[in-house]
Amino acid sequence: MRYDPADSQLFVYNRSRLSAMLKPNSMAILDSNDLMPTNADGTLPWRQNSDLYYLSGIDQEESTLLLFPDAVEEIDREILFIKETSEHIAIWEGEKLSQQIATKLSGISNVQWNCQLDTVLERLTQQAEHIYLNANEHPRADMTVQTRDVRLLEKCQQNFPHHHHERLAPLMHQLRVIKHPLEIKMIQKACDITEAGFRRVLGFIGQGVGEWEIEAEFIHEFIKRQSTGFAYTPIIASGKNSCVLHYIKNNQRCQDGELLLMDVAAEYGNWNSDMTRTVPVNGKFSERQRAVYDAVLRVLRKCNDILRPGITPKDYQNQTIDFMEGELIELGLIDKDEAKQQDPSKPLVKKYFMHSTSHHLGLDVHDVCPPDEPYAPGMVLTIEPGIYIPDEKIGIRLENNVLIGEKENLDLMSNIPIEADEIETLMSQANTGS
């Protein structure tokens, strides 16, 4: 790993919280993600299962975590299984985690090679009544391959059919939605790296510059600062592309007078940031671009004001729609009288603002959360309103990451320029060399 790992006490704390939520005489088993093939002998970039990492701090493939709080022997209550290294692996891939290092990273004293997993399961399931197994239960998940989670479920159902098999995902969603201060530290680091990338590209953007070249500037800065890379596939969208919500081709050249929408952010230590900024290619907003920009920024700030403990996601989104409707009327995009008679189930706003305003952020960019749970202190969310006018080639989205607090929210991206005047000034200074 190129990042500085989080304190192992975070993972000790997370495991203790989960253990307290399990039914009596229960074990929980979590698997790492698969290495996914491409073609020939190639593989896709690998990323650890977020739940396994949350509980162990282990960032290595072919890892398994077993928790059994009520095991007879204390040594059996937390067991980590990892891939055994060898001289061959060391030569070709580099050494894998030793048992000693795995203990240091996770705080788990009982670390075994994964070849011992089946034997341990056979022994410990005799003491257990319930087996908690994990699955990807994110509402937007589209599972098209059989994962290690699925294979483990099938294995346990076949080998231990008389045990009660329980869902682990709802418990993990409940745990992960509130961030520990050590998690906030990692997310803030990701935000700071993102800031460095954004400031770098402000001096690079201009007429004729390729969207892909801007992407390259970002990744250079991210990796230089010990990030593994992009938190998600970057959107670098100029001109009409700025109105395509998930534009990822990044293959056009920026033209004078256009806007450039950049939805791009860094991860750090598996925790993510998520930023969007929209800037004028030539460094100066037109009057119309500036009017739309300021409207989006006002909505973002109003959203931050109401994103407070106790408000539900539904009420929050409805109020956001009201804010946006007022701005769209002022911009002449929605008729005030038509707005009064609109079908509430089909708000006129959706023509220009078709996505939700916020999502949870953490080990996953669209982080897990209990369904419809009111917002609470310790949650980290994005705020990302946007206005998209394809006929005018104007697509503007702004996005910051905030930590909900008891009295006020903490903007984790407060240092990243967002005011139109500041962006114009920075771009002008970069172009003049001042």
Residues 291 and 334 in one domain: yes
Asked if residue 1 has pLDDT above 90, the reply is no
Residues 163 and 236 in one domain: no
CB atoms within 10 A of CB 70: 17
Residues 252 and 276 in one domain: yes
Residues 142 and 28 in one domain: yes
Asked if residue 390 has pLDDT above 70, the reply is yes
29 touches 64 (CB < 8 A):
yes
364-386 pLDDT, tens digit per residue, is 999 999 999 999 999 999 999 99
What's the one-letter identity of residue 405? G
Q: Is residue 319 assigned to a domain?
A: yes
Q: Is residue 2 assigned to a domain?
A: no
Domain boundary among 144, 176, 208: 176
Residues 168 and 121 in one domain: yes
Q: Is residue 279 assigned to a domain?
A: yes
Q: Is residue 421 assigned to a domain?
A: yes
Q: Which pLDDT score, from 0 to 100, does residue 430 have?
A: 79
Among the ranges given (105-114, 142-151, 230-239, 287-296), the one the predictor scored with the smallest mean pLDDT: 142-151
Q: How far apart are the C-alpha atoms of 139 and 271, rounded to whole Å?
A: 20
68-126 pLDDT, tens digit per residue, is 999 999 999 999 999 998 888 888 888 899 999 999 999 999 999 999 999 999 999 99
The domain that contains 253 carries what CATH number? 3.90.230.10
Q: Which pLDDT score, from 0 to 100, does residue 434 have?
A: 57
Q: Render the burial of 352-388: b for 16+ CB within 10 Å, e for the rest.
A: bbeeebbbbbbbbbbbbbeeeeebeebbbbbbbbbbb
Average pLDDT over every residue of 215-239 = 98
Q: Is residue 411 assigned to a domain?
A: yes
Q: Is residue 294 assigned to a domain?
A: yes
Q: Is residue 289 assigned to a domain?
A: yes
Residues 149 and 39 in one domain: yes
Asked if residue 249 has pLDDT above 60, the reply is yes
Instruction: Report how many domains make up the chain.
Output: 2
Domain boundary among 132, 149, 176: 176
Q: Specify the higher pLDDT residue, 139 or 237.
A: 237
Q: 167 Cβ partners below 8 Å, 6+ apart?
A: 132, 133, 135, 137
Mean of per-residue pLDDT scores for the chain: 96
Q: What is the DSSP letter of 74?
A: G
Q: Which pLDDT score, from 0 to 100, does residue 143 have?
A: 80
Q: Which pLDDT score, from 0 to 100, does residue 433 have?
A: 62
Q: Which pLDDT score, from 0 to 100, does residue 145 have?
A: 87
Q: How far apart are the C-alpha atoms of 141 and 18, rounded to whole Å?
A: 23
The domain that contains 83 carries what CATH number? 3.40.350.10
Q: How far apart are the C-alpha atoms of 366 and 274, rounded to whole Å?
A: 9
Q: Which pLDDT score, from 0 to 100, does residue 70 have?
A: 98
Enter the tokens of residue 164.
């009660």
Domain boundary among 176, 201, 228: 176
192-206 pLDDT, tens digit per residue, is 999 999 999 999 999
Asked if residue 404 has pLDDT above 70, the reply is yes
Enter the tokens of residue 282.
């030539």
Q: Is residue 1 assigned to a domain?
A: no
pTM attached to this predicted model: 0.96
Residues 237 and 379 in one domain: yes
Range of the domain at 363: 181-432
Residues 126 and 252 in one domain: no
Q: 279 Cβ partners below 8 Å, 6+ apart?
A: 202, 205, 259, 260, 262, 423, 427
207 touches 282 (CB < 8 A):
yes
Residues 312 and 336 in one domain: yes
Residues 208 and 317 in one domain: yes
CB atoms within 10 A of CB 158: 8
Average pLDDT over every residue of 196-218 = 97
**Confidence bin at 279 (pLDDT 50/70/90):** very high
Residues 56 and 126 in one domain: yes
Average pLDDT over every residue of 246-272 = 98
Residues 222 and 305 in one domain: yes
